[in-house]
């Protein structure tokens, strides 16, 4: 099957430059103009990679960026920019820096060799909830934290704990819920402190919840989406 790239760019002139570059490598290019469209499209159809225009990312709000976090951690992706004088494409690789690519063309070919993936569906809302995070089910050595954004299936927690590893199990108590039972969760991705200008923390997937917790979390998310 012919490789497919999902491209996000709002400016028409930049779009034409990017599309020419991608199609010259005999790759199908699907173009959208917003990060919200990236999240929606990547959850419907498998892609080999996601390419994002840097100006689009710079102008996006924190909430808009949160919409694509899970998709960007699920598949190869890169930020693209265009040199003003030469009109050449520059690429900041933000996924799997070990691929050895030195040019945009090399990274594009690398992405096309990877299996296409569908991003997880995640309707995130900018909902801040106080939480307690622990690596033990009995909540020993727990640390106080806060959810930065939220969905029915998981959340992003502020965290600077270097000992918490990817794919490890943690337990989270959400203070706002009437049921205080710790929620068993998996660390799906991690943003290290000092690595970027973004808030450090961990993206978690809720694995085990009580029916009451599920109902309350859905109610919180729906209430926020209506506002």
174 with 95, same domain?
Answer: no
| H/E element, 205 | strand 201-208
Instruction: Give the domain CATH number at 210.
Output: 2.40.10.220
pLDDT class of 96 with cuts at 50, 70, 90 = low
Q: Which of 158, 143, 149 lies closest to 128, judged by CA? A: 149
Q: What is the pTM of this model?
A: 0.65
> Virtual CA dihedral for 210, 216, 220, 225, nearest 10 degrees?
80
Calculate the average pLDDT of the chain: 88
pLDDT digits (tens, 9 = 90+) for 173-183: 999 999 999 99
Q: Collapsing DSSP states into helix, strand and coil, what is residue 21? A: helix
pLDDT at 227: 46
Average pLDDT over residues 147-158: 88
134 with 188, same domain?
Answer: yes
120 within some domain: no
pLDDT digits (tens, 9 = 90+) for 105-150: 988 999 999 999 988 766 677 888 999 999 999 999 999 999 988 8
Distance, in Å, from the CA atom of 81 to the CA atom of 79, rounded to the nearest integer, reads 7
User: Which residue, 84, 113, 142, sits at the end of a domain?
Assistant: 113
Residue 116 CA, chain-centre distance (Å), reads: 17
Structural domain range at position 95: 4-113
Instruction: Give the domain CATH number at 81.
Output: 3.40.50
Q: Collapsing DSSP states into helix, strand and coil, what is residue 69? A: helix
Per the CB < 8 A criterion, the answer to whether 197 and 211 are in contact is no
Number of domains in the chain: 2
108 with 152, same domain?
Answer: no
How do 154-158 and 143-151 pair as beta strands? antiparallel
177 with 149, same domain?
Answer: yes
């Amino acid at each position: 099957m012919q490789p497919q790239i999902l491209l996000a760019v709002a400016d028409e002139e930049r779009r034409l430059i990017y599309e020419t570059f991608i199609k010259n490598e005999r790759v199908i290019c699907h173009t959208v103009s917003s990060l919200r469209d990236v999240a929606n499209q990547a959850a419907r159809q498998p892609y080999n990679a996601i390419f994002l225009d840097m100006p689009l990312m710079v102008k996006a709000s924190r909430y808009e960026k949160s919409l694509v976090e899970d998709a960007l951690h699920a598949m190869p992706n890169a930020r693209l920019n265009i040199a003003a004088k030469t009109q050449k494409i520059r690429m900041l690789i933000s996924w799997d820096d070990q691929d050895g690519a030195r040019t945009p063309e090399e990274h594009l070919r690398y992405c096309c060799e990877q299996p296409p993936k569908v991003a997880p569906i995640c309707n995130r809302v900018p909902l801040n909830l106080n939480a307690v995070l622990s690596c033990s089910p009995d909540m020993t050595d727990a640390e106080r934290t806060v959810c930065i954004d939220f969905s029915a299936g998981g959340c992003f927690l502020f965290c600077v704990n270097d000992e918490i590893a990817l794919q490890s199990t943690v337990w989270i108590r959400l203070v706002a819920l009437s049921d205080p039972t710790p929620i068993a969760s998996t660390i799906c991705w991690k943003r290290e402190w000092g690595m970027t200008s973004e808030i450090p923390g961990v993206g978690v997937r809720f694995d085990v919840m009580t029916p009451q917790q599920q109902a309350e979390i859905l109610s919180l998310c729906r209430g926020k989406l209506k506002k």
